[in-house]
Each structure stands twice: as structure tokens, then as C-alpha cells.
With several copies, the nearest count.
Chain A
Amino acid sequence: MARQTFQQATVAAIAEEMRRDPDVFIMGEDIGKFGGPLHSCLGLWEEFGAEGRVIDTPISEGTFVGAGVGAAMQGKRPIVDLMFLEFLGLVVHQFGLDGGAMHYYSDGKVKVPMVVRAKYGVGPFHGHAYDFHSWLLNVPGVKVVAPSNPADAKGLMKAAIRDDNPVFFLEHMGLYHAGREEVGDGDGVIPLGQADIKRAGNDVTVVATALMVKRALAAAERLRNDGIDVEVLDLRSLVPMDEQAVLTSVRRTGRLVVACEAIKRGGSANEVVSLVAEEAFADLRAPIARVAPPSVPVPYHRELEKLYLPDHDDIADAVRRVMAA
């Protein structure tokens, strides 16, 4: 066991997998000697650089992600550091439409085992916060992972690297260097598609990922004083989604709040809402509530940014609303 930040745990997972499997390599901009923006690849160059397995690329997102697809088709297991999720629009065709379709269209003959990692989210790094992961739910054949803490980040990154499909791995900048937590040093793979109850409760289910899990937990603490017992369900991966875990929880609590950092309109929270509205309607005792930023671009001034991003108060308010309904 070691105490590690989200960034350290993620890099540790990558390093361990690179040691385990010589087909794993990593590429992206400034990830070599420089260590990657925000230290996203710190130490990898020193250990694997000489083998040519840490590759600095030109600023050509579509093509280096596409090169990841092409290398994966040849049996390698590329990890591509996209730097920021904001650049998803520059690579979604290669990663998603093509990369996600190859296994199906080839009747199983092509596999595309690759991971694209990307930083995002409102945090100490002031910029590139856009959260467009929701698009990927509507692209067949790709998986989406969004850990909320260092230990999950490590276990999920290992699973992502070992997965035989294109996996998009979200690294929240508000969590990245936000403190150390215990992280196992063993293999500790966390299978994709297993949600985790971060706090058990009986009155209402709050479904969240990444930073919103932290905020939901903070909201839950406050709501305890109001006598409201909140269950916080961390999806961990959005595709595949642990639908059973969501349904089981909501069937028990009868109430659902979904918190998400993507703007509300068209965000991935909608998938959770729709699942429950279709499958657990009979058990619902109150309207479902979404907590998400308004449908505006992320504003710049820190005070506006605060207004933009849901915090524990917003989540708590939504919980109170569904409790009162």
C-alpha cells in the first residue's frame, strides 16, 4: 500500500502494465522527457524511453490517435495521451466511428485494444475544462471510464489497458493532485462496468462519477443533519454502465438524483435517467432530478466558474427537492 495522488496512481498503473506487457506503449505530446502536462506521464520516459515505448508526437491529434488505432490493429496496446478532453472533437472520428466499429464490422477479426486518456474538468488548472465525454455514449463500440479517486483510477486504468476495445479514460483536473489516498500495489484490476457504492443510504440514490462523487459525498454528509440518508453510487465506467447497480439502488430508495459535470442538455446523466424511467418506474416515488451545469460554455472568472459547476449545495438542494416531492 502507498499513499498516492490520482496522477501518481494512474501513472503507476501505466508503468506496471508496461512492465507486464511489452506491447503496451504510450504516445502523445510532450510526454517524454518533459513528463507530460501536469505530470501525466512522470517517470515513464526514464524507465521506458530507451525502449522507444514513450513516444513524443507532433501536434496532430487526429493522426496520433489514429496511429493508436492502427498500431492496435497490429496487436500493440497503445495508450494515447490526448492531453485534454477538449480535443475530443479532433479525434472522435478516428477513435470512435472507426476505432469503435472495426471489431463489429470485421466480424470480430480486428481488435482495437487502446486507451485514450484525457484531462478535463474545473480545477486548479485554469482552462481546458470542457467535458464532452457524453458524446461517446452515442458511439458504438467504445468504453468510457471516469474514476473518482486514486485507488479507482489505478484499478480502472489497468482494466482499460487490458481491455480489447477502445477505452476513453477521463482524468479530472480537480482530482489530479488533490491529495493522496491509499492505493494498493498489487494487481488490483477493477473490471469496467462495476459501479461502487461510495456511501450506502436508504432515502435517495445519487448517481455520479469523478468530481461529482466527491461533491455528492459532501452533500450526503450535510443532508445527514437533515435526517436524509443518501446513497452515493459511483458509476466508475459510463460504458459499460452497471445498470443493475443503478436499478437495484433506485428500487430500494425510490428516488434518483444524477449529478454530472457535462452541461445538462444532452449529457450522459440522461442515460441514467432514461434507464430508470424505463426500467424502475414502478418503484419511483418522486420525479428524477439532474444536477449539471447550465448549457453555456465554461466561463472564465473563478466566481462564474463556481456558479457554473454544481457543488454540494446544488446536489443537496436537488435531493431535498426529490425528498419533498
Chain B
Amino acid sequence: MPRDNQTLLDLYRLMALTRALDGAIAEIDGHWHGLEGEEAVVAGAYHGLRPGDVVAPHYRGSLTAACGRGADLRKLLAGLLGKATSYNRGRYRSDVCGPPEFNLIGLYSGALGPPLAYATGAALAIKLDGRDDVALAVFGDGTSSRGDCHEAMNMASALCLPVVFVCQNNQIAISTPASDGVAPRSVADRAVGYGMPGHEIDGNDVLAVHDTVQMAIARARRGDGPSLIDAVTYRVAGHFVSDTVEDRPPEEIERWRARDPIALFRRYLVEQGVIDDGDLGEIDQAVSAEVAAAMAQAKADPDPGPDVLGLDRVFA
């Protein structure tokens, strides 16, 4: 797949931003669901979408989706703190629910699964309106056991809707290894049952992710219907920051750490002569500074006042 240097650097930047955010948020929020090791999936999937495309991101990576679509970092971080300056003035958390003005569908309750239906509905709206936008529905390996997954894929296939389903398969759900919670080895194996293309890919290879997602998006834009991509990666982090229970073999974690997607991509970029180490370091620094500044601002931002409770603002 042809891609220009700008795309490569944008992908790198989104991965670096994801990591920088991860570190900064972990410091202030013990309940943050980190995504160390999974940056290639989220950057690869969320980069290069059009404004009319609709995204229902997996909660782990929701902030990356928002950043990838142009949301403001300070407002997002304010949303993590519930500040009045956040996109919803503190009514709801930004870490699992992105600003809808960027065509993001979040977790409005905390239940995993239903957003696949909302993405399917967005695709239906797209089709009814004759747009050539697409919906992207991303979910975890654990979430793939929910009936919502089955129904959404089956319905998207039956109605030939422009949806791309991506499993952010970090091979674990809280403590449950995918091998226990997800019966087959690959979630992509399910595609045949829905009569749609299924792709199992290396989720630590950002270009594999990006290329495959873009290919599936192109197919959907053409009106050829949904696809299912199983991007296999690994949750190097705990389930959330203060999750100290770790039952996986240390060697396994180390093996995956050695396949760190950012390090892999850095090596690739340097080897291909796209950029040198020094300039990569500059990107890293710029991103970190941006995050630090946004965080400092968000922290200083005001808390919401009682008016935000908005007892009469439930109904439109």
C-alpha cells in the first residue's frame, strides 16, 4: 500500500502521543486503563479517517481516537478530571467517552458491547443518506464474547453496511486470558460465519494495522460491506494502573515488551531513512511537552458549578 512520509510520521506521532498521555494520566489516576504495548492498534486504526466517518472506539484507546480526530488535548484531560472546561463541563468522563462533535461514540453507560450496535446504526444512517463515509467499531477480545458483537456483525453483513470491525486483541480481559474467555484462537475466524472478510494481523505492527484498516474502509466506502480485523497485541500494562494482581508469566510480558510497537516502528522509520533518531527524539519531546502543558492547564481549570448538574437538561 502506498504511503507518504507524512502518513508515517503522523502515525508515529499518534503512537508517541498515546504513550505520553498514558504516562501522564497514570500519575494522577489510579483507575486509568493503560495501554502500553497497544499503541500500534489504536494509532493505526484511528489515523486517516475522514470527518464524516463515525468511530466507536474501544474504551482503552478512546483518548487516542479523540486525538486522532482533532479533539483538544486540554479539554480531553479536563474531562478526565471532570473539569468545567471539558467537552461536557464535567458531566461525564472523557477517558471512555469521546466528544461526539468529532463523530465519536463513547461508553455512555459502562457496559461494553452495545457501542457496536450504535456504530452499526451510524453505518445504517450513512447508507440511508447515500454518504460514502464508514463506521469503525473497535472492541476488546473480552468484549468479543458479548452477544452485541455477534448481532452487530451479522446485521451489518445482512444489510451490507459500511462498518469495519476491529478487535483490539490484547489477549486478556481484566484477568481472563483470551484463551479462556474467547473460545477460538482468532476472533477473525468468526468472519466466515458472517460471510465477511476476516483478517488476523500483527497488532504491534502499526503499518499492518493501518493498511488493513484502510483497505477494509475502502471496501466499505465502495458499498461492499463490513470486514472483521483481529489485531493481535498484548497488554503490557495491568488492567488499570493500581491493578497489582498479575498472574501472567513475567517472561511472557518481557517477550512482548521486547516487541514494543513504538520501538519497532522507530527502528523501521530509521532503517527506511524516513527520519533519524534525533528527529524522532524531538517528536517525543514535543509530544511530552504538549501533554504536560495540557495537563497543567486542565488541572488548573475550574471545577463545574452546581448549574452544570442541569436538572432540566436531561431531555433535548
Task: Tell whether A63 is near chain B: CB-to-CB under 8 Å.
Answer: yes
The 9 closest A-B pairs by CB, nearest first: A70-B121, A66-B117, A301-B82, A67-B121, A34-B175, A70-B118, A58-B145, A63-B151, A74-B125
Contact A66 B120 (CB under 8 A): yes
Q: Which of B106-143 contact A (CB under 8 A)?
A: 108-114, 116-129, 135, 142-143
The distance in angstroms between the C-alpha atoms of A61 and B152, with both chains bound, is 11
C-alpha spacing A62/B135, complex, angstroms? 18
Known: A30-B176, A71-B122, A128-B110. A60 touches B146 (CB 8 A): yes
B313 in contact (CB, < 8 A) = yes
Tell me which of A104, A109, A297, A301 has the highest count of chain B C-beta atoms within 10 A of its own C-beta.
A301
Binds A, one of B7-15, B257-265, B302-310: B302-310
> Does any Cβ of A come within 8 Å of B92's Cβ?
yes
Q: Is the CB of B100 within 8 A of A93?
A: no
Asked if B180 is at the interface of the complex by the 8 Å CB criterion, the answer is yes
Q: Which residue of A lies closest to B96 (CB)?
A: A127
CB proximity of A227 to chain B, nearest CB, Å:
31
Q: How far apart sit A300 and B176, CA to CA, in the bound complex (Å)?
A: 28
Instruction: Identify 10 new A-B residue pairs, CB closer than 8 A, beyond the known A66-B114, A304-B91.
Output: A25-B128, A58-B181, A66-B121, A67-B120, A76-B128, A105-B92, A106-B87, A299-B308, A300-B82, A304-B304
In the assembled complex, the CB of A58 is this many whole angstroms from the nearest CB of chain B, namely 4
Q: Which of A48-56, A216-224, A276-284 contacts B (4 or more CB under 8 A)?
A: A48-56
A19: CB under 8 A from chain B? no
- Are B120 and A296 touching (Cβ within 8 A)? no
Sample 11 A-B pairs with CB under 8 A, ordered by A number.
A30-B176, A34-B247, A35-B245, A57-B158, A58-B180, A59-B181, A62-B147, A69-B121, A87-B111, A103-B315, A300-B91
Q: How far is the CA of A87 from the CA of B111 in the complex (A)?
A: 7
The reply to whether B110 and A127 form a contact with Cβ atoms under 8 Å apart is yes
Q: Is the CB–CB distance between B175 and A101 below 8 Å?
A: no
Q: Is A63 touching B120 in the complex (CB atoms < 8 A)?
A: yes
Say whether A94 faces chain B, with CB atoms less than 8 Å apart: yes
A242 beta carbon closer than 8 Å to chain B? no
The contact string, 1 if C-beta is below 8 Å from chain A, for chain B 17-47, is: 0000000000000010000000000000000
Query: Which of B82, B109, B116, B147 has the largest count of A CB atoms less than 10 A from its CB?
Result: B109
Are B114 and A98 touching (Cβ within 8 A)?
A: yes
Binding site for A on B (CB under 8 A): 31, 54, 82-83, 87-93, 97, 99-101, 105, 108-114, 116-129, 135, 142-143, 145-148, 151-152, 154-155, 158-159, 173-176, 180-182, 245, 247, 303-304, 306, 308-311, 313-316
- Bound Cα distance A303, B126 (Å): 39
Partner of B309, one of A53, A93, A112, A296: A296
Q: Are B117 and A62 in contact (CB under 8 A)?
A: yes
Query: Which of A55, A69, A72 is packed against the most chain B CB atoms within 10 Å?
Result: A69
A93 near B121: Cβ-Cβ < 8 Å: no
When C-beta atoms are compared, the residue in chain B nearest to A305 turns out to be: B82
A113 to B121, CA, bound (A): 13
Say yes or no for A37: interface residue by CB 8 A criterion: yes
B117 touches A70 (CB 8 A): yes
Verify B100–A73 contact, CB threshold 8 A: yes
- Measured in the bound complex, the distance between the Cα atoms of B125 and A68 in whole Å is 9
- Residues of the B chain whose Cβ atoms lie less than 8 Å from the Cβ of A86: 109-111
- A307: CB under 8 A from chain B? yes
Looking across the interface, which residue of chain B has its beta carbon closest to that of A112?
A: B316
Q: Is the CB of A34 within 8 A of B182?
A: no
Residues 89-125 of A, flagged 1 when their CB comes within 8 A of B and 0 if not, give 1100110011011111111111111000000000001
B109 touches A59 (CB 8 A): no
Tell me how far the C-beta of B303 lies from the nearest C-beta in chain A, rounded to whole angstroms.
6
When distances are taken between beta carbons in the complex, the residues of chain A under 8 Å from B159 are 55, 57
Does A33 sit within 8 A of B, measured CB to CB? yes
Q: Is A188 an interface residue (CB 8 A)?
A: no
CB contact between B114 and one of A55, A93, A302 (< 8 Å): that residue: A93
Q: How far is the CB of A39 from chain B (nearest CB, A)?
A: 10
**CB-CB < 8 A to B128: which residues of A?**
25, 52-53, 71, 76
**Given contacts A97-B108, A109-B99, A113-B316, is CB(A58)–CB(B310) below 8 Å?**
no
User: Are A299 and B114 interface neighbours, CB within 8 A?
Assistant: no
Give A228-265 as 1s and 0s: 1 = Cβ < 8 Å from B's Cβ atoms.
Answer: 00000000000010000000000000000000000000
User: CA–CA, A102 to B115, complex, Å?
Assistant: 12
CA distance A141 to B100 in the complex (A): 18
- Which residues of chain A come closer than 8 Å to B142, judged between CB atoms? 58-59
